Amino acid sequence: MNFDPTDQDIVVNADELREFASQLYQEVGVPKTDANAVAHLQVETDLRGIHSHGTRALPGYVRGILAGNINPTPNLEITRDGPAFARVYGDRALGHVAGKFSMELAIEKAKTAGIGAVGAYTTNHFGAASCLAMLPLEHGMIGFSTSTSSRGVAPYGGKTRVVGNNPFAYAVPAKTEPPIVLDMACGVSAWGRIGTMRLYGKKLEPGWVLDEDGKETDDPNKARVLLPLGGPKGYALALAMDALSGPLTGMGATVNKKGDLPLDKQGSGLFFYALNIESFVPLDEFTEEIDREIHELRSSPPADGFDRVYFPGELEAMKQEQWSADGIPLHRDHLKGLADLATELGVPVFWQG
């Protein structure tokens, strides 16, 4: 499968995009180490084709810093700690910064305890859930991440924004194959995906969203309420993910967030865990079995209209491989937003078009 750019895209080099993104963060006071880390995670997200949660989100984060809503130099603090768990105060950090710190802490705990579970509070949006869930892979571990979300999804049987569109991700290592990566929101779509459809002038699928009158619409410009994925299943998943990232971290449930909130209840709650495979079975035994599973899936007969069966995360891995070599195709309006911000901050733009 080939992932060629459309006539609305401009192809940019991934390494240059990382450096450019880091410079933008540094211009608004983010330390270089943190700026590099956030830029890396966002460009990795773009390389995997999740553009709504990659560098397209960068201007919003920078403007959040300029408005005083995001702290560029947070003092992250472990407020509760145990052999296999911890709770981290995020100090209104960029979600990627607090998330990376928390997941790395979970990994360290899993090395000795077999599992490490870490919740973070008073932080911010952490991008694509998969970019942090994948961090344990290189340590021979399974990763999980989830986050709170603003009220944006109707409960099953409802028509107003009541529950969150909580994202969550699992990352499972294989031996020679790419990892199995599940990354999804609990609504039919992420709101960023709605924005992508709007950007490319595409209609939405039936059953995705409601308009301001509570009626279904295929027009992304009229989308006001997301519907839960799979009806009652997505609704139930949202409540489960919200319990982990909200009440468990001390941030409260999304449905209860109304009016003015105290500072320590504002922003996002995040929850992570890392599972050390060697604590359960030998790593080679596990990853070889995952490889066999992938091969079996791939060789299964495709249904009409499909070229073959893909496993979760495979298409993203294929994009990452192709675009790392050929460059990332990004929508021209995506890049215009970055260029406008760069002009404001005095950072030179490296692409043409």
Render pLDDT for 243-301 as a digit per residue (tens, 0 to 9).
Answer: 999 999 999 999 998 877 777 778 999 999 999 999 999 999 999 999 999 999 999 99
* In the chain, where the domains are located: 9-187+228-345, 189-227
Question: Is pTM beyond 0.75 here?
Answer: yes
For domain 189-227, give the CATH number: 3.30.60.50
The answer to whether the beta carbons of residues 328 and 12 sit under 8 Å apart is yes
CATH code given to domain 9-187+228-345: 3.30.1370.60
Q: Which of 223, 237, 97 has its CA nearest to residue 167?
A: 237
The CA distance from 260 to 32, in Å, is 34
CA distances from 2 to 67, 316, 321 (A): 41, 12, 11
CA atoms within 13 A on the CB side of 127: 34
- Burial (CB < 10 A; 0-12, 13-18, 19+), residue 291, is middle
Structure tokens that stand for 82 in this block: 């145990």
Strands of the sheet with 225-226, listed across from one edge:
163-164, 151-153, 225-226, 209-210, 216-217
Residues in the chain: 353
Report pLDDT digits (tens) over 53-97.
Answer: 999 999 999 999 999 999 999 999 999 999 999 999 999 999 999
Q: Do 91 and 71 touch, CB atoms closer than 8 A?
A: yes
Using 50 as the pLDDT threshold, list the residues of the chain that sit under it. none
Closest CA to 268 of 91, 134, 143, 135: 91
Q: Which residues pair with 210 in a beta bridge?
A: 216, 225
